[in-house]
Chain A
Amino acid sequence: MVATAAEPGVTATDVIRLSNVRFAWPGRRAFSLAVDSFALPAARRILLIGPSGSGKSTFLSLLCGIVAPQSGVIDILGTDITKLPASARDGFRAEHFGIIFQIFNLLPYGTVIDNVLLPLSFARNRRKRATAKGTAEAEAVRLLTRLGLEPHLARGHSAANLSVGQQQRVAAARALIGAPELIVADEPTSALDRNRQAAFLDLLFTEVAAAGATLIMVSHDESLGPRFDEVMRLDEIAVCSHGSGP
């Protein structure tokens, strides 16, 4: 579908580049994060090993532009998002990121379809791409089916009654719809057992590859390493200081 490398102004090699990033949560002196230099190549599967306390969620919040660092450069797909105003960063995230959380990914009162279509409300280009071959609903159903969700669950079904495994598939479809360049998954399989983990990853890898996206998956489980193109350790990338805090 969309090859990131084909877009002008984006280097073929790196989708993400961080340099001299310094961040501290406002009002929370005790915790700070520093990244001197970090780069991620495009169209690959990267596993970030991040044990708890390694500043994992802060690092992801910085990458996705939910928070802005006090100093430094965060270059995503050729755009330094630290230069963007907060609302433009939110729009940028909507267009270029698909995010899968560890658990509780869905709005339980919404239908499965509405949950999948949610990002399209905030991202015009993703909507265009999702509706290129038909309706957005049809694309959502196609993705859900490809990700192994039973067809009867895909249409009009409430998200509340899904199993954890099914929820993660819906979350993956939501991240993938409209083909964003970057898929960020924060321990998406930690709530699944071994067999389902492997099955979920297989489907996710296939779809990410089909979309030509880059997958950044964070996990504390190093045994997943061989399945990825590259394994990085967060504690080697980011220096996290807890100060005097607990």
Chain B
Amino acid sequence: MIVLRLALQSLRNRWLTAVLTVFAIAVSIMLLLGVEKVRVGARQSFADTISGTDLIVGARSGSIQLLLYAVFRIGNATNNITWASLQDIASRPEVAWVVPLSLGDSHRGFRVLGTTPDYFKHYRYRQSQGLTFRSGGPFADLFDAVIGADVAQALGYKVGDPIIVSHGLGAVSFVEHDDKPFRVAGILEKTGTPVDRTVHVSLEAIEAIHVDWQSGGRIPGQSVSAAEVRAMDLKPKAVTAALIGLKSRLATFRLQRAINEYREEPLSAILPGAALQELWGLVGTAETALKAVSAMVVATALLGMVTMILTTLNERRREMAILRSVGARPRTVLGLLMAEAGVLTAAGIALGIVLLYAALMLLQPYVDTVYGLHLPIEPPKPAELATLGAIAVAGCFAGLMPALRAYRLSLADGMTIRT
């Protein structure tokens, strides 16, 4: 139809503003969908990090805090659990296994985790997947270390390389445990969890490097050599937290209460799943804010489109008058402008989707390695499609404003051609 062809030609005549408008809408759509992808990816990454553990026990604190430092290596523990209390819990009949975790040291920005060889047996991620070794094996000697895939990649370590652990958690440390170097005994396969960024050593090794230390510093004049330390009793006095597996899940709440009411020491036991839910509750507000901001950006883009159509309206009064003179109804004029808004919005949405998936394909490996965030590349979900549909409709209605103005102008102009 000639009228539609002319409307498209009219749009092509203003191609620069039209393209920019489409681009603005596309970027806003990309942002809106991208935020959702990151949100889903982040949740999935978090939820995938721990599996198969029934309870996490630590010093008394909030459950989110305990979850964050014990599993995600985010933040620090407020206090430790004594070894005696942990043994007490481990000896309870319903407990199948206990994996103690000792945190506080680092190696060139990567956290050092003191644990037992059971860790490699019981730690599960992403629907009960266990840890596997890419090369080497668990620690056999006191000064053996097992490193995650990212540590190995970032620092270029091979099995057999020596490493020196630093006291504290800074990437650059001036307090080094340089008198007791470690040896890389094993390198783990990539998991997409904080395990990749962790240096694992035995609990005894953590004790060993701290024998001649007191409250965060070396005791002056006292130095115990690596050889001497081997002869000492390295049974840990305290650990930071522990993962607990039960014989029967039915006992979970009973044991949780028992630990929370433990008399000898103030302790907390949390269910990882419940703590994650609590975390989502906390993060939910930020997610909502993020969504609101991206929705605003979409609204801004649509507003920009309305502005663009409105500014061209004056020069298009001639077009309207000509169309009216050859018999176009005001309704046709209204429809043309709304269709223009609809076409621009639809093109923006389409381009936005293309840009989003292009960006995902381009950035996915990078985001995965740098942030440990796996962004899923999958077709838009029904809810997202519904949102996009709603935006398309909103775009058409946004066109209603300039369209109604053009309608009124074309009625008022009558047979006059204004320029």
- Beta-carbon contacts under 8 Å, B8-44 to A: 9-10, 12-13
Complex Cα–Cα for A108 and B414 (A):
20
- Among listed B107-115, B179-187, B196-204, B316-324, interface-contacting one: B316-324
Complex Cα–Cα for A75 and B250 (A):
92
Q: Determine if B231 is an interface residue (Cβ-Cβ < 8 Å).
A: no
Evaluate whether A60 and B415 lie within 8 angstroms (CB atoms) in the complex, with A107-B10, A107-B319 already known. yes
CB–CB B417/A122 < 8 A: no
B362 proximity list for chain A (CB < 8 A): none
Complex Cα–Cα for A12 and B57 (A):
105
Evaluate whether A186 and B415 lie within 8 angstroms (CB atoms) in the complex, with A107-B10, A109-B10, A114-B2 already known. yes
Q: Determine if B3 is an interface residue (Cβ-Cβ < 8 Å).
A: yes
Indicate which residue in B1, B411, B414 contacts A57 across the interface (CB closer than 8 Å).
B414
Rounded to whole Å, the gap between the CB of B117 and the closest CB of chain A is 77
Evaluate whether A109 and B1 lie within 8 angstroms (CB atoms) in the complex, with A90-B327, A122-B328 already known. no
Q: Determine if B325 is an interface residue (Cβ-Cβ < 8 Å).
A: yes
- Beta-carbon contacts under 8 Å, B366-419 to A: 411-412, 414-417, 419
CB–CB B9/A110 < 8 A: yes
- Among listed A40-48, A93-101, A142-150, A235-243, interface-contacting one: A93-101
Complex Cα–Cα for A185 and B328 (A):
18
Complex Cα–Cα for A110 and B2 (A):
9
- CB closest chain-A residue, reference B6: A110
Q: Number of B residues whose C-beta is below 8 Å from A?
A: 29
Complex Cα–Cα for A47 and B13 (A):
37
CB–CB A64/B326 < 8 A: no
CB–CB B6/A108 < 8 A: no
Evaluate whether A118 and B326 lie within 8 angstroms (CB atoms) in the complex, with A107-B6, A109-B10, A109-B13 already known. yes
Complex Cα–Cα for A103 and B416 (A):
10
Q: Determine if B134 is an interface residue (Cβ-Cβ < 8 Å).
A: no
A94 proximity list for chain B (CB < 8 A): 326-328
- Beta-carbon contacts under 8 Å, A185-242 to B: 186
Q: Determine if A153 is an interface residue (Cβ-Cβ < 8 Å).
A: no
Q: Determine if B348 is an interface residue (Cβ-Cβ < 8 Å).
A: no
Complex Cα–Cα for A123 and B328 (A):
10
CB–CB A86/B329 < 8 A: yes
CB–CB B12/A91 < 8 A: no
Rounded to whole Å, the gap between the CB of B205 and the closest CB of chain A is 78
Q: Determine if B263 is an interface residue (Cβ-Cβ < 8 Å).
A: no
Rounded to whole Å, the gap between the CB of B18 and the closest CB of chain A is 12
Number of A-B contacts (CB under 8 A): 89
B411 proximity list for chain A (CB < 8 A): 67
CB–CB B2/A64 < 8 A: no
Indicate which residue in A97, A99, A118 contacts B2 across the interface (CB closer than 8 Å).
A118
Indicate which residue in B2, B318, B415, B419 contacts A117 across the interface (CB closer than 8 Å).
B2
Q: Mark B300-340, 1 if CB is under 8 A from A, else 0.
A: 00000000000000000011011111111111000000000
Complex Cα–Cα for A64 and B6 (A):
23
Complex Cα–Cα for A119 and B301 (A):
36
- CB closest chain-B residue, reference A95: B327
- CB closest chain-B residue, reference A186: B415
B327 proximity list for chain A (CB < 8 A): 90-91, 93-95, 97, 119, 122-123
- CB closest chain-B residue, reference A105: B322
CB–CB A87/B329 < 8 A: yes
Indicate which residue in A108, A174, A186 contacts B326 across the interface (CB closer than 8 Å).
A174
Indicate which residue in B3, B6, B321, B414 contacts A109 across the interface (CB closer than 8 Å).
B6
Complex Cα–Cα for A103 and B419 (A):
10
Complex Cα–Cα for A106 and B6 (A):
11
A67 proximity list for chain B (CB < 8 A): 411, 414
Indicate which residue in B325, B330, B412, B419 contacts A64 across the interface (CB closer than 8 Å).
B325
Q: Determine if A58 is an interface residue (Cβ-Cβ < 8 Å).
A: yes
Complex Cα–Cα for A108 and B13 (A):
9
B319 proximity list for chain A (CB < 8 A): 107
Evaluate whether A114 and B415 lie within 8 angstroms (CB atoms) in the complex, with A87-B331, A107-B322 already known. no
Supply 15 A–B pairs (Cβ within 8 Å), ascending by A.
Answer: A66-B325, A90-B324, A91-B327, A93-B325, A94-B326, A99-B325, A103-B417, A105-B322, A108-B13, A110-B5, A114-B2, A114-B9, A117-B2, A119-B327, A174-B326
Listed from nearest, the 10 A-B pairs whose CB atoms lie closest are A94-B327, A122-B327, A61-B414, A109-B13, A119-B326, A61-B415, A109-B9, A99-B325, A90-B329, A60-B415
Binding site for A on B (CB under 8 A): 1-3, 5-6, 9-10, 12-13, 318-319, 321-331, 411-412, 414-417, 419
Binding site for B on A (CB under 8 A): 25, 57-58, 60-61, 64, 66-67, 86-87, 90-91, 93-95, 97, 99, 101-110, 114, 117-123, 174, 186
